[in-house]
Chain A
Amino acid sequence: MSNTEKSENAHLTTPTRLTGAEIVWATLVGEGVTDVFGYPGGAILPVYDALRKFPIHHVLVRHEQGAAHMADGYARASGRVGVAIATSGPGATNLVTGIATAMLDSIPIVCITGQVSSKVLGTDAFQEVDITGITLPITKHNFLVSRTEDIAPAIRYAFQIAQSGRPGPVLVDITKDAQQATAIFDFAAAKPHPYKPHPMLHCSDERLKEAAELIRNAKRPVILAGHGIMRANAGEQVRTLAERMQIPVGMTLLGLGAFPASHPLNMGMMGMHGESWVNDAIQEADLLIACGMRFDDRVIGTPATYAPNAKKIHIEIDPAEINKNIKVDVALVGDLRAVLEQLLPLLPGRDGSAWINTIEASKGTAAVRDIRNLPDLGHLYAAHVMHDLWRITGGRAIIATDVGQHQMWEAQYYHHDFPRSLITSGGLGTMGFALPAAIGAKIACPEKEVWVIAGDGGFQMTAAELATIVQEGIKINIAVINNGYLGMVRQWQEFFYERNYESTPLVSPDFVKLADAHGIPGLAVRDRGSLEAAVEEARGHSGAFLLNFLVEQEDSVYPMIPAGKALHEMIRRPGQNPLLETPNDK
């Protein structure tokens, strides 16, 4: 199709008669979409047939789960809505893990699926599945569209829902006959009703005064900084709050980057694998100011023992999160940035040095996180890999991680100073997320350096997307943290199942050869001495590059709060040197 037609279709401002398939693309163009991730099939073929007429770049994935994760990574890196496309039946069900991942982490994506013709709906037709039924609990909303004239309004409404309030995934299921028939496309008329905020948002002057009073009078306050800061674009406001009132800040996993890691008031990550002094500070605090976080069970340990002496202020966009896991004293329910802008004028300033000094002292030797100069005695520790990657990339890369030990080490040792620089599946904990999410992030931010950090287990779940990287010709660096185990499960078996390493030792292909088969060069790294050169070679290569880090096999992530324990009941790394010991030395 001629480029003229493509550019004409970039501005379909007058009502035009189009097929449903064309309406799908015209609506996406109108919503500002430039890239989509998908996989064709019978029930979505009309849509694919019409793609050539529209100025949208389609990334062909190798599995629809990858499409959903790429849309997710795209959204996380850019803040825009990610779009995934799949056919009916298995194409749609393959999206499910990706949709659930986006739901749990409040990521705005729109998934468009083909559906069998409306005449055969409900007859178990070939590749028919009730995807709106299946995805009902893992989407903010979904649509089954069987009339051509409903396509544009449904997609436009889907974009509004995905981005508004607490963001999340929306699915639009479109029957094949609706794609084939024609209707008048009128983008402006398809506009959804104006967005109505949740009616239970509540941030009255009284509440603000109560909150300000608590903050002014607190002796040992802590800010809990979460993912909502990024969503609300409230980094400056949180920073002002922390600096003006001299309040130390603890980060959630998904919050990393929302408040600079290098800021003197940033204590580091909280929770199950958080820094000991952060968890101790929370337990000793007399006031918690939760900003855009939801008191997840991985953050609080057990509700009964969590921050027993602290009053709690919860600033949160979703009223259903208030008092869900932790009972709070003051709830400011609304957009974080708007709430903080109202709250800050009530806070003149405060001397917090005593409490900050107490926390500094409690860091003590445990704070030797700068492990650059510690001897490795010939071992290759994953923590060293993370630290060196941080140092070599200047902390400026976008890192997409999978789930498990490497994810926690990354969170501990790669210090994120910038929002949207860590892309990780926090809520659902989806293995196989890193590689496709990184592809999405790279397509959203082509000028950024993008690294995949994945374990040897998770990497194999979506390794087929290596071919997508090659087909797209994009530059991504891949670090496989290869310890020959499903490492985090092995760690739990070591701590809680008497070292019964059932089904966790993992035989893997030679990842360098696997990459090579895809036309991606790679290197194995066995010791720290050759690490820097290998990383620089990967960065310097024009295309994608894979590094297979053969790390210490039975290393564990410390500290660790066992499930069901209180925050201060951490398992600490045994021995004196925080890194040289292996668990076997206990």
Chain B
Amino acid sequence: MLHTFVAYVEDKPGVLTRVASLFRRLNINIVSLTVGRSERAGLSRMTIVAEASDEAGNRIRASLYKLEVVIEVDDIGKAPAVTRELALIKVAATSSTRSTVFELAEVFRARIVDLAPESLMIEITGVESKIEGLIQVLNENENRVLEVCRSGKMTMRRGQHSSRVLNAMGAGETSAPVHSPVEAFDDQVAVEPE
């Protein structure tokens, strides 16, 4: 299954190597990894998505904590969280074919950020499936997509909602899952209102 970890790490040279090397050593493929400055001075925030067995979550989290550069690790599991990805997509389009692409972008609430005689560039944010969807429809009749640059997933837990709000959004639990070395995480439903 896909595991999503959010880690606060020191903002220093070599930190990315240490984190990446841990996954390499465990023979686990990193599906996506995003890093950027966080709200805490001197700390970066990583969202790491990795493909590993269902039980591997706790061990990965525990191993990440063993790295001196890692300050905090959250295994998002299926907890209520907002996940987003940013993509830049360059599409082949001339003056005669642009309008179709504009329409598609409109439907997906994407923006056109560059326009050239032979191509244009779309900026889109959203969940993975939304980005996949846009790429699919752009290529539906002819292969129009020239380049895709995706940021990888960024994830943040939702705040404390009442159960009524969560239910309305399609999730059932109010509390964040409790971390412990041997207990599995509860199977809360992801909330992704669009």
Q: Which of A110-118, A198-206, A264-272, A279-287 contacts B (4 or more CB under 8 A)?
A: A198-206
Q: Nearest CB to that of B179 among chain A residues?
A: A200
Instruction: Verify B65–A202 contact, CB threshold 8 A.
Output: no
Taking CB atoms, residues of chain B closer than 8 Å to A331 are: 181-182
Q: Nearest CB to that of A322 among chain B residues?
A: B181
Knowing A200-B179, A323-B182 touch, does A136 contact B62 (C-beta < 8 A)? no
Taking CB atoms, residues of chain B closer than 8 Å to A199 are: 65, 72
* Distance (whole angstroms) from the CB of A255 to the closest CB of chain B: 22
Knowing A198-B62, A200-B61 touch, does A322 contact B68 (C-beta < 8 A)? no
Scan B31-69; emit 1 where CB is below 8 A from any A CB, else 0: 000000000000000000000000100110111011110
Instruction: Verify B66–A320 contact, CB threshold 8 A.
Output: yes
Instruction: Verify B25–A322 contact, CB threshold 8 A.
Output: no
Instruction: Verify B21–A328 contact, CB threshold 8 A.
Output: no
Instruction: Verify B182–A320 contact, CB threshold 8 A.
Output: no
Instruction: Verify B182–A136 contact, CB threshold 8 A.
Output: no
* Distance (whole angstroms) from the CB of B11 to the closest CB of chain A: 16
B95 within 8 A of A: no
Q: Name A3-51 residues within 8 Å CB distance of B.
A: none
Number of interface residues of A (CB under 8 A): 22
B17 within 8 A of A: yes
Report the separation of the CA atoms of residues A322 and B57 in the bound assembly, to the nearest whole angstrom.
Answer: 12
Instruction: Verify B59–A324 contact, CB threshold 8 A.
Output: yes
Instruction: Verify A161–B68 contact, CB threshold 8 A.
Output: yes
Report the separation of the CA atoms of residues A330 and B68 in the bound assembly, to the nearest whole angstrom.
Answer: 27
Report the separation of the CA atoms of residues A144 and B13 in the bound assembly, to the nearest whole angstrom.
Answer: 10
Report the separation of the CA atoms of residues A333 and B65 in the bound assembly, to the nearest whole angstrom.
Answer: 14
Instruction: Verify B68–A140 contact, CB threshold 8 A.
Output: yes
Taking CB atoms, residues of chain B closer than 8 Å to A144 are: 14
Number of interface residues of B (CB under 8 A): 20
Q: Nearest CB to that of B59 among chain A residues?
A: A320
Which of B25, B61, B179, B181 has the most CB atoms of chain A within a 10 A radius of its CB? B181
Instruction: Verify A133–B68 contact, CB threshold 8 A.
Output: no
Q: Nearest CB to that of A157 among chain B residues?
A: B68
Which of B18, B58, B182 has the most CB atoms of chain A within a 10 A radius of its CB? B182
Q: Name A129-165 residues within 8 Å CB distance of B.
A: 132-133, 136-137, 140-141, 144, 161
Instruction: Verify A200–B65 contact, CB threshold 8 A.
Output: yes
A319 within 8 A of B: yes
* Distance (whole angstroms) from the CB of B15 to the closest CB of chain A: 11
Taking CB atoms, residues of chain A closer than 8 Å to B58 are: 200, 319, 322-323
Contact of A200 among B18, B21, B62, B68 (CB under 8 A): B62
B180 within 8 A of A: yes
Instruction: Verify B18–A136 contact, CB threshold 8 A.
Output: yes
Instruction: Verify B14–A323 contact, CB threshold 8 A.
Output: no
Scan B58-85; emit 1 where CB is below 8 A from any A CB, else 0: 1101110111100010000000000000
**24 A-B residue contacts at CB 8 Å?**
A136-B17, A136-B18, A141-B67, A141-B68, A144-B14, A198-B62, A198-B65, A199-B72, A200-B58, A200-B61, A200-B62, A200-B65, A202-B181, A318-B62, A319-B58, A319-B181, A320-B59, A320-B63, A322-B59, A322-B182, A323-B55, A323-B181, A324-B59, A333-B181
Q: Which 6 A-B pairs have the closest CB atoms?
A: A319-B62, A320-B62, A141-B68, A320-B63, A331-B182, A322-B181
Residues of chain A at the chain B interface (Cβ within 8 Å)? 132-133, 136-137, 140-141, 144, 161, 198-200, 202, 318-320, 322-324, 328, 330-331, 333
